[in-house]
Structure 1
Amino acid sequence: MPSPGSSITLSDVIGTERLISIFSGFTRDIDTVSQRLESSSLNTTVLAPSDTAIRELPRKPWEDPRDYAALGTNAYGGEDGEDRAHKNLRRFVEAHVVPESPWGKETKVQTVAGNTVWWEEKEGKRWVMPGSIEVETVAKSVGNGEVWIMKGVNNYA
């Protein structure tokens, strides 16, 4: 794996991980995140939910029950609906992007979405808190950060 200072960036490697192909695709749809992953001057830890974790969600990452409550079944129809869906997807993706790397154990930081997260180590495994989400593996380490594959998703409500 490339060492910090390498010209290889997170944007170069995130798409190569089969276990996070859904999340990787989402990152390309969110300009603020894709630009961050391309930048060699912005260190980042990507907390990428596995495809399995995303498939097991009770709703799609771009859906919000509040939108359905306020607007009904057509909450995501038309241009306004597409804008709502994109905003919700952005919130989901940004909740999984930590603007720090390396990221020290038990160091509380805010995700790009503004949620406070930290990680702990228990029985040789990493757990992202709050929520006790198990980190399956640190999949990639490149010049501007790391990609951690998680077995769940951060709170993005």
Structure 2
Amino acid sequence: MNKFIPDIIKSKVTAPSEDFVGGADQPVVSDVLPKTKGINIFAQMTRDFDSISSRLNDASHNITVLAPRNSAVQDLPRKPWEDPEDCAKFGGVHAYEGSDGQERARRNLRRFVEAHIVPVSPWREGEEVESLGGEKLKWSKEGDKVILQPGNIEVDTVAEKVANGEVWVLNGVINYRSD
């Protein structure tokens, strides 16, 4: 990672489950997310926000986490906490310096994470659901692939099914800001 990173940043596809039922002694999303191979960058981001961490740990509210692979996050044209408007207004990498800059970066990163959390599970094919970030999403099965819309984002795997939901590993990222 580079020196401009804000301080706050330190198989075969199957259709999602429609009938998984967990119990009180079952693991929850917060237990399995950091252990899921290839998504540790996103998993770390979820821990930066207490309200999101609490949601992932709450067995009484089901969620689907749409976790982008590390490579998808690394391939973004900008870091998840960067906003072109911030960079234009405040001067590129300097936009995230100081306490005001750190707050801008934190707000942008939260928007990125919330775009990847759907407050339902099970999530049925064709059902349009709004992410915590406000994006309306749905999925469909195309041959042996599960594809999220909008954006034609391929779900690589449904990595975990736990008491309060599922973790899906994505080969891309959800649009977290309209540019």
TM-score by length of 2: 0.85
Q: In structure 2, what is the equivalent of residue 37 of structure 1?
A: 56
Matches within 5 A, 1:1-157: 3-7=21-25, 8-73=27-92, 74-157=94-177
Deviations, residues 20-54 of structure 1 (Å, cap 9, x unaligned): 00000000012221110000001000000000100
* Structure 1 residue 70: Cα displacement: 1.0
* Structure 1 residue 114: Cα displacement: 0.9
Deviations, residues 61-81 of structure 1 (Å, cap 9, x unaligned): 000000011111311000000
Task: Check conservation: 1:94, 1:113, Cα contact below 8 A.
Answer: yes
**Inter-partner Cα distance in structure 1 for 2:24 and 2:38:** 24
* Structure 1 residue 4: Cα displacement: 1.8
What 5-or-longer segments of structure 2 have no aligned partner?
1-19
**CA-atom RMSD in angstroms:** 1.1
User: What letter matches 2:144 in structure 1?
Assistant: G
| Identical counterparts, % of pairs | 49
Task: Check conservation: 1:5, 1:144, Cα contact below 8 A.
Answer: no
* Structure 1 residue 124: Cα displacement: 1.5
User: What letter matches 1:59 in structure 2?
Assistant: R
Report how many residues are paired: 156
* Structure 1 residue 17: Cα displacement: 1.1
What 5-or-longer segments of structure 1 have no aligned partner?
none
User: 4+ residue runs of structure 1 moved beyond 3 angstroms?
Assistant: none
Task: Check conservation: 1:98, 1:111, Cα contact below 8 A.
Answer: yes
- Seen in structure 2, the aligned counterparts of structure 1 residues 6 and 125 have a Cα distance that, compared at 3 Å, is farther
